[in-house]
Structure 1
């Protein structure tokens, strides 16, 4: 195999939602109260829903921009690549990056759509359904075979959430974005039977519970309010480690043997140690914690239920068989600041070559595992010989992928750091 022969399916990318997304799918009686994109005098665009304002930070949409424009300050749609919010432009960017397909997580509603939880249950449900119908019918439906569809949850009601899973499964959706810690959002924990209807619906419909880092609404606490942002960015995957442990030891895995869970944007290099640790914990403590995996080790159970992914993780590739070669997928994370776009094929191929990864393993990691776990078959729409890195890039010839400045304002790095510290200090004193 050569670099251009690879087929790339990413299981974690992101949408910056367009302003007209509710137009075709929200009942007329709710449209005046729907979230709306507001253009402010400072040039930024923000989503406003009642008293809540959600900005789009400059770490969330930096594809094709110089690193000097990375930061946490808000920005406008005209400061980001159109591929962030326009699906036709997204597909052009995917072609230029040699990427066959993506699975796209939401942005402004939050990964668990907690924003949509209001005192009016019917309105809240209408918002979730409208978002899901827009995502499936317009975003994914416009380019068949290019997107793994994903549904938002009805996070505030397990029964309604189960019904929404079943409704979307009939439309070919087999991924549900969910929170890494329901109790952090004020809902029952993974250990509560409250969620049983949801787990059953996911098992019945072969829907993967896709848990993204940060989906609890909080990140790992900084050691101090004076910690630089590098600490936060370094620790970002740690929430997913907590979620993996919480779910592995929970009754969910035991009571629902067909449940599938994806640990999104959590990386893979930590997993071999994690698996050694859970097996050691089981060996030393199961007699009094009463854990029982039916004669299996926790590490074996992990490989039956958990899917992992990486952006760039040379150590994970080196240890791929300690992780489980059938449990690893790749993600591009477009258009976030960790993304390898548009040079993912080059970086992936470098790491595959460095660790002598055979073609069989490459294919599993780059597309086969994603297809199997998410019940997704792009080849019913796109011939396989047209799905390779080389074929897609040939189709994108002439598409501009140059790095260029898009920001209206030049923000000094020292001002960015001070703004970050102000936010950290406010979080440190805020009541829990």
Structure 2
């Protein structure tokens, strides 16, 4: 007699969630008129409008931001279409179809809190929306800091930096000008910021971990503020792009070359930044700071840690700007640094190769199209082959530990 086929039930995750990658949608940029000094409006005011070339989009002054997703009808890409988004990219399309009206949860803290409850999410880190695409257009000086401050005023007044101790909006902080950067760090801390988002790379011809910037880092360290490097334009890669005969600040979906995708955007810039910080003995000076790479994936982590350790050995008798490291860079990384994995990453192999799940975070990317439909779907996409303990660590415990919630 034939036996009935046995079916293995689909593994599910019904535990708590802490989402380390979610976003605001900026309804419009009228708020910047209020917060940005009047004398900066002509050149640096963000606005969705028709530019001099007749194209509608997000502009800084009259310069079009090629990677913003502005729509003349005020529509936004539908959230949680990761697979459709990846398919569209392979087909050479600019985005998924079926754009929708933005919903209240994209634009207000009360609406987002209700959405977290519906998703079963305890807390989240909240990043800027399309404004993140503007980072590469500002002068890296006090003027650039003034633009970031204007946006911080909006976040503080409209969202708060720790709404109901569940929605942790990132303050924007750069190292572009020491005096105004110190002032901004103090301003953010005084208003309860728990996590900041910083541009990747050097500033003013100096390493981000150069002791010159210690006054900024000291404020963050003393107040246990977490630091994030979210995927964005890496200005320090622009000279290299030009040296290879290509143009920076092109549309990533329709104008950026495969070579730029591979070497100048996302994982390589953040690796350069993190390695530079670790090799500068940064965490010996600032042991309370934790840093997370966000929306740069995590498949790169094992090879990165292996190579950092190897290069420490190669440079054992070389020059160490802030002193020789007291231990392996990989050990320092695992104690102080985190990476938000992509849902399509091979997380099981990552955990096996680095020997721990403690520095891997989850992120839904809500409400962006390239995210998962719901935060809980991250488990189904990436974590089903992990142990229950590792899955819970990535879905919840690591995020709370990173944020000290």
TM class by shorter chain equals 0.7 to 0.9
2:57 aligns with 46
Which of 196, 202, 211 matches 1:182? Answer: 202
SS at match of 1:48: strand
User: Structure 1 residues 242 and 72, CA, compared in 2 at 3 Å: closer, same or farther?
Assistant: farther
1:199 aligns with 217
SS at match of 1:182: coil
- 2:226 matched to 1:208? yes
Deviation per residue, 1:72-93 (Å, 9 max, x gap): 8699xx7564368522554555
- 2:390 matched to 1:361? yes
1:339 aligns with 371
- 2:1 matched to 1:17? no
- How high is the TM-score relative to the length of structure 2? 0.73
1:12 and 1:264 in contact (8 A); partners too = yes
Deviation per residue, 1:239-291 (Å, 9 max, x gap): 22222222221243343333322122222232222222222222343123456
Superposition deviation, residue 200 in structure 1: 1.1
Superposition deviation, residue 361 in structure 1: 2.7
Superposition deviation, residue 298 in structure 1: 1.6
SS at match of 1:326: coil
1:428 aligns with none
- Distance in 2, matches of 1:30 and 1:188, equals 29
Which of 268, 289, 303 matches 2:334? Answer: 303
RMSD over aligned CA atoms reads 4.2
| Residues 26-45 of structure 1 mapped to structure 2, 5 A cutoff | 26=35, 35-40=45-50
User: Structure 1 residues 39 and 215, CA, compared in 2 at 3 Å: closer, same or farther?
Assistant: closer
User: Structure 1 residues 306 and 111, CA, compared in 2 at 3 Å: closer, same or farther?
Assistant: farther
Which of 168, 179, 194 matches 2:188? Answer: 168
1:63 aligns with 79
User: Structure 1 residues 43 and 138, CA, compared in 2 at 3 Å: closer, same or farther?
Assistant: farther
SS at match of 1:333: coil
User: Structure 1 residues 161 and 227, CA, compared in 2 at 3 Å: closer, same or farther?
Assistant: closer
Deviation per residue, 1:394-418 (Å, 9 max, x gap): xxxxxxxxxxxxxxxxxxxxxxxxx
2:128 aligns with 106
| Residues 190-339 of structure 1 mapped to structure 2, 5 A cutoff | 190-217=208-235, 218=237, 233=261, 236-290=266-320, 292-294=324-326, 296-312=327-343, 314-320=345-351, 322=354, 324-339=356-371
In the comparison of the two structures, how many residue pairs are matched? 366
Q: Which runs of 5+ in 2 are unaligned?
A: 1-10, 71-75, 247-253
- Greater relative CO, 1 or 2 (CA 8 Å, sep 6+): 1
Which of 173, 184, 188 matches 1:153? Answer: 173
1:45 and 1:55 in contact (8 A); partners too = no
1:154 and 1:160 in contact (8 A); partners too = no
- Distance in 1, matches of 2:77 and 2:202, equals 27
Which of 107, 116, 137 matches 2:157? Answer: 137
- Distance in 1, matches of 2:270 and 2:56, equals 30
User: Structure 1 residues 31 and 93, CA, compared in 2 at 3 Å: closer, same or farther?
Assistant: farther
- Distance in 2, matches of 1:206 and 1:112, equals 28
Which of 107, 112, 122 matches 1:86? Answer: 107
- How high is the TM-score relative to the length of structure 1? 0.69
User: Structure 1 residues 118 and 23, CA, compared in 2 at 3 Å: closer, same or farther?
Assistant: same
